Amino acid sequence: MIHDRTTSTRPPRVYLETYGCQMNVADSQTITAILRRAGYESVDRPDAADVILLNTCAIREHAEERVLGRLTALARIKQSRPGVKLGLLGCMAQHYRAALIEKAACLDVVAGPDAYRRLPEMLGEIGNAAFDPMIDVRLDRAETYADISPEFGGGVRAYVTAMRGCDKFCAFCVVPYVRGRERSIAPADLLREIRGLAARGVKEVVLLGQTVNAYRHNDTDFGALLKMIARIDGIERIRFTSPHPSDVSDSMIDAMATEPKVQPHLHLPIQSGSDRVLAAMERGYTVAQYLNLVERVRAAIPDVALSTDIIVGFHGETESDFDATANVMCAVGYDSSFMFKYSVREHTRAFKLGDSVPEEDKQRRLTALIALQEEMSLTRYRALIGRTFPVLVEGPARRGEGRLAGKTPQFKTAIFSGNSTVHIGDTVTMRVDSATGHSLLGTPIL
């Protein structure tokens, strides 16, 4: 006999696993809040759950392969307990839509990023629909989930979605297709959310959006929003990710330069250092314009740390295009970089162009860039030995031994030996004694 656990008296249990970017982590907190409101209880193991959900990423093929592999493993749980419901949510759900059911027949629910509000309803209807999976992949340009307070996981730092979607349509990127049009959340809703977080002990907020600095709600632009958030008592640090170079405004730079709570770190994805490739990518800027922007930012915020995203092996990228990217990387002097091999995505404009760079070349270029960045990071981090930084303490360091870890204003990991006077959430002044290319080791000073 098939026993439907959800009909028993205890609340149905949901297990949610998250893949991909910070936006997905934040969306999972919204999903958890929606399901909790509908009477679900969260569990942290799939084998204890009545409903198993994966919130997924579609940015590169590799991300999707991981999820499909995981689904196969989870389908086994369903075989041993047929009452269990299995759902795939997020960008991959939106990307494949009904075709996902052919890839993974075990799925009961497929829901895109604008369909989470209807999840309880969809999960409730599964039994009635005689084996048909429930699919909702409608994009809704009005959906911001602004009225739903995401389930905050605790900690010193909280991520807050300020805008959703993307209108840029870079040729390689699937995001505008899976997350839909750009929409900003009203300042009043954001301020209410962040005040609530401050009341729960949050010291640092990270504003999220696919192109977060495209934020605009009526007369409030991104710079004005940063200044409004800076007025909230209890919030000590403000960060944001990811901005787009074309949306960097004077108002944003001014907020970073004049508002001490806005931290001096800018993630500024360049993607390529070749004008030809940038044009093919439809990024909307040239290398010279990007470098000019870097100069403006550095002039206004002298201690700013810069990081970036780079794609190697985009269709048509030659060795000399690649060399140009490596040169620009050195010229800017990034503190860290996220580097990726180009992955062709269905639906995008570049899909039709092709994939001319062989895998071995992509891998070689990626390895070379990673080595270059490692070398640059090490030099840049070591140059900080002897300097002092305010470090917001987040918790025990990963490799424990009584050490504590936090971030400098420039978002560098700082590690020091704890003592009884230092608590999580405190800001300590740390002198840097030594450095790797990924962290600063130091001593708190009084």
304: three-class secondary structure by DSSP: coil
Least CB distance from residue 59 to ligand 5AD, whole Å? 5
Q: Select the binding partner of residue 134 from ligand 5AD, ligand SF4, none (C-beta < 5 to 8 A, by kind).
A: none
Minimal distance, residue 55 CB to ligand SF4, in Å:
17
Q: Closest separation between CB of residue 246 and ligand SF4, Å?
A: 9
If the CB atoms of residues 245 and 444 are measured against ligand SF4, the closer one turns out to be 245
User: For the CA atoms of 254, 217, 89, 196, what is the dihedral angle to 10 degrees?
Assistant: 70
Tokens read off for 287: 């290398």
Tell me which residue has tokens 């770190």.
265
In the complex with ligand SF4, the residue whose CB is nearer, 4 or 275, is: 275
Are 72 and 36 spatial neighbours (Cβ–Cβ below 8 Å)? no
**Residue placing its CB nearer to ligand SF4 in the complex, 211 or 413:** 211
118-126 CB contacts, 8 Å cutoff, 24+ apart = 119/31, 119/34, 119/35, 119/38, 119/87, 119/89, 120/34, 120/35, 120/37, 120/38, 120/39, 120/40, 123/51, 123/85, 123/87, 126/85
Q: Distance from first CA to last CA of the chain, Å, rounded? A: 68
Q: Which residues bind ligand SF4 (CB under 6 A)?
A: 166, 168-170, 173, 175-176, 210-211, 244
CB 275, min distance to ligand 5AD, A: 17
Task: Give whichever of 284 and 425 is closer to ligand 5AD, judged by the CB atom.
Answer: 284
Element (H, E) at 65: helix 61-80
Phi, psi (5° rounding) for residue 4? -90, 105
Q: Which among 69, 76, 104, 65 has a CA at the least distance from the CA of 88? A: 104
| Nearest residue (beta carbon) to ligand 5AD | 309
Q: Least distance from C-beta 44 to ligand SF4, angstroms?
A: 30
Is 307 in contact with 350 (CB distance < 8 Å)?
A: no
Closer to ligand SF4 by Cβ: residue 122 or 328: 328
The partner in contact with residue 301, picked from ligand 5AD, ligand SF4, none with C-beta cut-offs of 5 to 8 angstroms by kind, is none
Per CB under 6 A, residues contacting ligand 5AD are: 59-60, 172-173, 269, 271, 309, 311, 340, 342-343, 345
CA distance 373 to 109: 42
To ligand 5AD, the closest distance from the beta carbon of 308 in angstroms equals: 9
Report what 374 binds from ligand SF4, ligand 5AD, none; CB cut-off 5-8 Å by kind: none
CB nearer ligand 5AD, residue 40 or residue 334 = 334
Q: Is 25 helix (H, G, I), strand (E, B) or coil?
A: helix
CB nearer to ligand SF4: give 173 or 339. Answer: 173
Task: Report in angstroms the alpha-carbon separations of 443 from 303, 393, 418, 431, 432.
Answer: 21, 13, 9, 5, 7
Give least dist CB 78 to ligand 5AD, A: 31
Which alpha helices (H) appear in 200-286, and where do they start and end?
222-230, 250-258, 275-281
Nearer to ligand 5AD, 120 or 316 (CB): 316
Backbone angles phi, psi at 271, to 5 degrees: 75, -45
Q: How far is the CB of 348 from ligand 5AD (least distance, A)?
A: 7
Binding-site partner at residue 244 among ligand SF4, ligand 5AD, none, CB < 5 to 8 Å by type:
ligand SF4
